[in-house]
Structure formats: structure tokens, C-alpha cells
Structure 1
Amino acid sequence: MTDSVVECTGLVYRFGTTRAVDGVDFSVAGGEVFGLLGPNGAGKTTTIRAITTLLPVRAGMIRVFGHDAAKEKIAVRRLLGYVPQQLSADAALTGRENVTLFARVYDVPRGERARRVDRALDAVGLAEAAGRMAGTYSGGMVRRLELAQALVSSPRLLILDEPTIGLDPIARTTVWERLGEVRSATGMTVLVTTHSMDEADRYCDRLALMHRGRIRALGTPAGLTSQLDRRTPGARPATLEDVFRHYAGSGLDDDRTGGEFHDVRSTRRTASRLG
């Protein structure tokens, strides 16, 4: 791992009078998989959208590869790929047409588009299905198609917001395997939000656990569980789920309004369509 790719310092974001993000500080090192964990409404998606420049940075500082996300939005966007919670693939287009569309959006040079599109589809295992309409794809294939869309610009930073939501265990594993292969080949940095403790434990190098807009714990999966073990000597070895419960409780008592309520609805719609 190398120097910081993403640096968030004192990030605050409000929806009306509600602080969805309340003084968030963390950094992501080059080449690592960094996970944001937390219950719905914790501020994860708002943080991600600020990093991707989809939301303005009004308070605090975000730097991506040294670029100020508030003042150098275009420079930041050229360096990253983004897979949102909501489905972004067009069912009426073929897999290749979907990825080609994103190549144009990302301003991939015309002379390189066909090669880049083929390479992205091959990287996620969709080369043979590229000529089929995306509407005929399974849920796992759709998620891999969206990964190809994000990879077509050869991003140095890939940001994934709940990338395996609604997928069965085999499809989830396939998505992560493909992602691991791309990382091994390119050294790409990954920032991901997830509710899956298993995914976080297995695939993330470091984690930041968010609750009520703040970072409550930060470290490696093993480091976070060992910290909890030291607090409760004599108990069974802690799991990442235990760490989650310790810092976030049940996640059901969060009475904040606004912010990410629409994200809960969109997450449910996505899970329904992928199921």
C-alpha cells in the first residue's frame, strides 16, 4: 500500500437541520480495499457521494489523489469509477452497448473505446454474453455489467456502494473474485460500503464503522475484533458482527430524519429487481 488516495477531514453534510455526516475523518491508502460499515442512515452513502463529487463539499475537506473535491471536480471524476446502489444498466441495451455508453460518458478516446469495452467485459466474465440484452441477465450478471461500466475508464479508484445487494452467495463471490482479479492486475484502490459482515471481514483491508454520521471505530477487521476481546475478557472470541453491534447497537433506534431515507427505498427496489 502507498500514500493516501482519499483523505476526508472534518466532513460535514446537512439535510436541512439534520447532520447526515458529522465531522468524518479517514484516509484510504493506495492499493487497499477500504470498507465503510454501518446501519441504514449512518451516513455512508452521503459520504460516498461527496467523494464522487455528486454532492458538494460545503464543510470539511476531501482530497482524491491530492485533488480538492470541492474545487477540482472534473479532475477527481476522471480518476474514479463508481457503482451506485441503484441499478444503472439499461435493460433495453446489450451488455456491450451499456459499457460503450459509459465509455462515451467517461470520455474514453474514440480510437480506444472498442478495446477498452472488450477488456472491461472480459474482466468481469461477460465477453460471451456481451451481445445479449441486459434485460435477459441474471442479478449477478447485472452487477458484473455495472462493474464493467465503472472499469471501462481504467479508474485508479473504484467506489462501490453496496455492490452485492440482493445477490445470492454464489453471485456475491463471483463479483468479488472478478474484482480481486482486476485489482491484482492494476493495483486499483477500492472504497466500498457494505452491510455484509462476511464480505467486510474477508475482502476489506481496513474498515471504518459509521453510526449517526460519525466514525465510531477504524482499523483492520482483526484489529477491531481483538480490541473488543480485550474489553470483554473471558468471553468467546469476538466477531465483526459483535463489533458492529457494540458500536451501532441494533441500528433501529436512529431517529434522525431525512438524509438517506430515499436510499433505503432505492436499496429495497434494487434488491427486488436483482432477486
Structure 2
Amino acid sequence: MRIGRAILITLFVVFAGFPVYWMFATSLGTESSLYGEGGQPLWPEIGNIGQWGSFLTDVPIIGWLGNSFIIATGTTILSLLLAITAAYALSRYRFYGRGVAGFIFFSTQMLPEALIIVPLYAIFAGAGLLNGHFGLILADTAFVMPVAMFIIKGGIDKIPYELEESARIDGCSRARILFTIVLPLISPSIAAASVIAFFDGWNEFMFANTFLSSSSLWTAPVGLASFLGQFYTPMNQVMFSALLFALPAIVFFLWAQRGIVSGLTSGAVKG
């Protein structure tokens, strides 16, 4: 039984990691090996690792990754700040129109980006938010914040309200209850919401391709798309840039996954 489980897990790991390996192997290939009659070799040509330096010189991939990191981090922080407060209000407060407010948040997920990109472009142009990181952060936050809010609200709903009542009797304010009692208990939900928000800002292409006109402000997805040519595409440069683009997202996911596990243990309620 254990041997079969180990074999199955190994197959899943190989299946999941093969695209990363293929990007690594292709980035070490040359034009003759990639476009020759024999096709790309299965094993990476380690002797060509020196060409990575010329790729970094020819392609501003580091700057594009920096722009993606700024936008993804800004989207994550702003989305979590808005989502936490909105989720707490919808979970704990009883007010007129509460159900309508929840439906409005939910209905934002019914609108595809392509449907509102033209009016959003006109609004951003009038507000001077084009060709800048802040405008792109706002656009990404508008789409991912409702998702993060419902995830966090689900965590808050499971917390016994008696904990907050005890804190209120001891004189704690609503803000102190939220940040010192509620948030530590919903750390798994916050970690899950942060992963979704970060990946949304990291991978988003349509808004970035439309709102950013300066190549120095391009994000990594827009920069990768610029490699595609009508007659020729440098696959080794594309795969090298794609590998650099994928690794931070993989590392962040692994870090957030550990945060979810630690949050489940630290957020346990005794008694």
C-alpha cells in the first residue's frame, strides 16, 4: 500500500514538475538544436548555461519581473485590507441592504475583463491613471477583492461570536477585536486569499497590455508576449524568461502553503 502511494505521489510530482524542467532544458538550447532536424534534445545542454548572461543583457526581464512584483504585492495588500474590513462588516453587522451588498460583490465576478476594458480605459485616461502601476493595481484589486472577501468571510463566520462578546465586556474596541482576536484565527483564510490576489496581479495580462504603453513599465506577461514574432520567435529566450517568471510564483505558493498549515494550528480554539 505504501509503495503504491509512493509511486503515485512520484508520478504526480514528475507530471507537475515536467513543464518547469522543459523550460529549463529549452532555455539552455541553441537555435541549431531547437530548430534543427533532430528537434530539441530531452536532456539540457548544461554547457550553454553561459548564454543566460547574454539573455539578461539583451532582454529587460529583471525590470519586467520587478514591475510584476510591485503590482502583485500592491494588489495583494490593497485587496486584503479592503476584503478584511468588508468581510467583517458583512459577517458581524446587521444592516439594511446587507444581502444586496453581498450580491453586488458577487455579481462583479460575472463581468469579464474584456467587457469593461473600454469604459475603464476612458475612466483611467480622465483620471490620469494610465501608464502607471497604481492604476493597474486598482483595476486588479477591483476584480480580486470580492473573491478574497468571500474567502475571509467564510473564515469569520466560523468563529464563535462569544469570543468577541467576551472581549467587548473587557472593553476592547471593534478594531482591536478584529486585529488581535479575529485575524489570528482566520490566518488560513487570509493566506488563501493572499495567494489568489498575488497570482491575479502576477499573471494579469489584458489590463497591463492595455494600460501600459511604456516598455519600461511592462509586466512580465506583457514582456513575454512581445517575444512572439511573425516569422521568428527565440524560444530559448522565451523559456528562460518564462522560467524566471514562474519561479517566484512557485516559491510564493510554497511559502503560503506553509502559512496555511501553521495558521490551522495557531488558530485552534480550546474548550
- How does the TM-score come out when normalised to structure 2? 0.21
Give the number of the structure whose residues are more often helix, by fraction.
2
Instruction: Between the two structures, name the one with larger relative contact order (CA 8 Å, sep ≥ 6).
Output: 2
Question: Based on CA coordinates, which of the two structures has the bigger radius of gyration?
Answer: 2
- How does the TM-score come out when normalised to structure 1? 0.20
